Amino acid sequence: MYPQNLAPIPELYVSYDSAQKLKVEAADLVSHDLTPRQICDLELLMNGGFNPLKGFLSEEDYDSVVENMRLTDGTLWPMPITLDVSESFADSLEIGQDIALRDQEGVILGTMTVTDRWVPNKAREAEKVFGADDDAHPAVNYLHNKAGKVYLGGPVTGIQQPVHYDFRARRDTPNELRAYFRKLGWRKVVAFQTRNPLHRAHQELTFRAAKEAQANLLIHPVVGMTKPGDVDHFTRVRCYEAVLDKYPQSTTTMSLLNLAMRMAGPREAVWHGLIRKNHGCTHFIVGRDHAGPGKNSKGEDFYGPYDAQDLFREHEAEIGIEMVDFKHMVYVQERAQYEPMDEIADKDDVTILNISGTELRRRLSEGLDIPEWFSFPEVVAELRKTKPPRSQQGFTVFFTGLSGSGKSTIANALMVKLMEMGGRPVTLLDGDIVRKNLSSELGFSKEHRDLNIRRIGYVASEITKNGGIAICAPIAPYATTRRAVREEIEQFGAFIEVHVATSIEECERRDRKGLYKLAREGKIKEFTGISDPYDVPENPELRVETENVEVDNCAHQVILKLESLGLIAGQ
């Protein structure tokens, strides 16, 4: 008999022959095209990573998980795993109906029997699961602004795994990892969860954790969805591979986990523990502020530094995996080694060195030295490939303001000034140009205006990703849409929001096209500032006043801002 952590666990996949038959039958089923986050969830449901779940949660189980971190049968499970869909799609279904679950290419991954359909109380879910109904939390923002309004629940039948073309040899199902541990005779395995590149402090920490638990080490980074702004997983995995040979080969392995993180702090830590137990691990390293999303709208941390460890400890026996505390490792210069901060007896007599994540990002963005005591040259080389100094990266300047505020005029002046400097291609995505070339079929309803801004955001993100400068000048009246565009662009470079803060009276006075007059007469419906709201940006990178100020001066203010951010070299 195998130890329990190494015995095979149930999966939701059917046999190969049944899968072939199901694929044919599924051609007649109603299909749901899964979002990237839903694909991550479905993969871990089907391969046993979310064991004991047999599908997306029913309404009863969902309520119980939100309120008590337990399924209705009492089993510990802290995270709602639900299939969110649009109202129109939900209305087209009947309870008991089977639907096909497809990836974004239309490949069928599984089927689901719809047993439940309900409209959740998302504010309640945010409060209970994430600790606050605060849009500054990436998962709460997702819940309110991206997820479908209706949840579906029901058991899933797995047909095939999602296809991953990258790092295939590094991707293992829970049963594949268990088989690997059995083959090597690993009885105890400590898992290290990470969504950041590995530096020397992490290596020292993982060494110590494995030694303390007398266990082998599984480096188990998340490559599904992490937090907006994180280093992309391709770069991170190349960083991990660059340092794997610094670990003893016979005691360490690495596998990639296709998990969509929720950044839910304490609950997420318990969830990560259950997932690692399913993957055959016996120990799990829980960090300070484990899976924390950073600051809330008031500028305070969402969770206390040790909340995650406390909740994990409380449920440790039930999770069935032992927690190894994450020690805060710092470099002691005199001894040329990393030591846990709370174990340094002679703190006052030695030089303690430490570089925070923020400081590391600053050094990368400014092309400054990153010392060898902090990271491995191989890791720094990989990071520099993806993140050259800011003055060589692409970026987007996004003007927003009322119609007639002067956005286009300033954007044009800025474009000319940047082209005069040279060094990077500059593209102007002005409202009228975009309407003509990208969005000619769109009207001016809220939905169409949103879609227009998202198209602008998409093109700007591609320009930014490829090292160019995008200048956008739409009205962009809605804060949630501007935030979505910011998140899309910030994966690849800086996003500078410039609010052209001209008053409506001044805009109306300047009204060259006579639009305000028509809006006042009711001849133009849903006109921003008259019959439709404009969400004034709360924290733009720059606010520009245009009344009695020359255009040249306004554009120059933007140039100075770009210089201060390091995006263009000082003249």
Q: Before 52, cis peptide (omega within 30)?
A: yes
431 assigned binding-site residue = no
Characterize the bridge pairing of strands 116-118 and 150-158.
Answer: antiparallel
Q: Kindly state whether residue 545 falls inside one of the protein's structural domains.
A: yes
Q: Kindly state whether residue 493 falls inside one of the protein's structural domains.
A: yes
Angle between helices 138-145 and 122-130 (to 10 degrees): 170
76 CA to centre of own chain: 26
Q: Is the dihedral of CA 21, 27, 33, 36 positive or negative?
A: positive
Tell me, what CATH number does 438's domain have? 3.40.50.300
Backbone torsions φ then ψ of 284, nearest 5 degrees = -145, 130
Characterize the bridge pairing of strands 352-353 and 329-332.
Answer: antiparallel
Question: Is 196 an active-site residue?
Answer: yes
Tell me, what CATH number does 224's domain have? 3.40.50.620
Residues 115 and 207 both lie in one domain: no
Question: How many CB atoms within 10 Å of residue 91?
Answer: 10
Assess contact for 109 and 42: CB atoms under 8 A: yes
Tell me, what CATH number does 28's domain have? 3.10.400.10
Q: What is the pLDDT of residue 440?
A: 83
Characterize the bridge pairing of strands 98-102 and 216-221.
Answer: unpaired
Looking from the CA of 124 toward its CB, the CA atoms found within 13 Å total 11
Which of 330, 348, 378 is at the close of a domain?
330
The number of residues making up the chain comes to 571
Residues 212 and 142 both lie in one domain: no
Residues 153 and 190 both lie in one domain: no
Q: What is the pLDDT of residue 529?
A: 66
Sequence-distant (6+) residues with CB within 8 A of 117 are 90, 93, 95, 150, 151, 152, 153
402 assigned binding-site residue = yes
Strands (DSSP E) contained in 114-206 are 116-118, 150-158, 189-194
Q: Kindly state whether residue 532 falls inside one of the protein's structural domains.
A: yes
Angstrom distance (rounded) from CA 151 to CA 311: 28
Angstrom distance (rounded) from CA 279 to CA 222: 13
- How many domains, in total, are found in the chain? 3
Residues 92 and 146 both lie in one domain: yes
Residues 121 and 208 both lie in one domain: no
Q: What is the pLDDT of residue 103?
A: 94
Catalytic residue among 194, 216, 278, 528: 194
Residue 425's alpha-carbon distances to 320, 428, 467, 568, in angstroms, are 55, 10, 8, 13
Type of residue numbered 510: R
Residues 181 and 92 both lie in one domain: no
Assess contact for 128 and 66: CB atoms under 8 A: yes
Q: What is the pLDDT of residue 1?
A: 59
Residues 63 and 40 both lie in one domain: yes
Name the DSSP class of 171: B
401 assigned binding-site residue = yes
Characterize the bridge pairing of strands 189-194 and 216-221.
Answer: parallel
- Which strand ranges, in their side-by-side order, compose the sheet holding 426-430? 426-430, 469-473, 395-400, 494-500, 542-544
Angstrom distance (rounded) from CA 528 to CA 377: 52
Following DSSP, what letter does each residue of 309-325 receive, concatenated? HHHHHHHHHHHTSEEEE
Residues 39 and 61 both lie in one domain: yes
31 assigned binding-site residue = no
Q: Kindly state whether residue 163 falls inside one of the protein's structural domains.
A: no
Angstrom distance (rounded) from CA 176 to CA 255: 10
Which of 121, 137, 158 is at the close of a domain?
158
Q: Kindly state whether residue 379 falls inside one of the protein's structural domains.
A: no
Token pair belonging to 550 = 């020359």
Closest CA to 209 of 193, 224, 221, 222: 193
Q: What is the pLDDT of residue 2?
A: 65
Angstrom distance (rounded) from CA 177 to CA 278: 10
Q: Kindly state whether residue 76 falls inside one of the protein's structural domains.
A: yes
Catalytic residue among 195, 236, 267, 276: 195
Residues 189 and 263 both lie in one domain: yes
Token pair belonging to 43 = 């993969």
Helix (H) or strand (E) holding 243: helix 233-244
407 assigned binding-site residue = yes
403 assigned binding-site residue = yes
Which of 306, 330, 354 is at the close of a domain?
330
Token pair belonging to 143 = 């819940």
Assess contact for 421 and 466: CB atoms under 8 A: no
- Which strand ranges, in their side-by-side order, compose the sheet holding 352-353? 337-340, 329-332, 352-353
Assess contact for 32 and 111: CB atoms under 8 A: no
Catalytic residue among 68, 72, 113, 196: 196
Q: Kindly state whether residue 377 falls inside one of the protein's structural domains.
A: no
Q: What is the pTM of this model?
A: 0.78
Angstrom distance (rounded) from CA 529 to CA 451: 19
Residues 402 and 459 both lie in one domain: yes
Residues 129 and 191 both lie in one domain: no
Burial class (CB in 10 A: 0-12, 13-18, 19+), 368: exposed
Give me the residues of the chain with pLDDT under 50, please: 571
Question: Is 195 an active-site residue?
Answer: yes
Range of the domain at 105: 4-158
Following DSSP, what letter does each residue of 415-466 receive, concatenated? HHHHHHH-SS-EEEEEHHHHHHHT-TT--SSHHHHHHHHHHHHHHHHHHHHT
Residues 130 and 174 both lie in one domain: no
Token match 């032992």: residue?
Answer: 322
Q: Kindly state whether residue 247 falls inside one of the protein's structural domains.
A: yes
Q: What is the pLDDT of residue 99?
A: 96
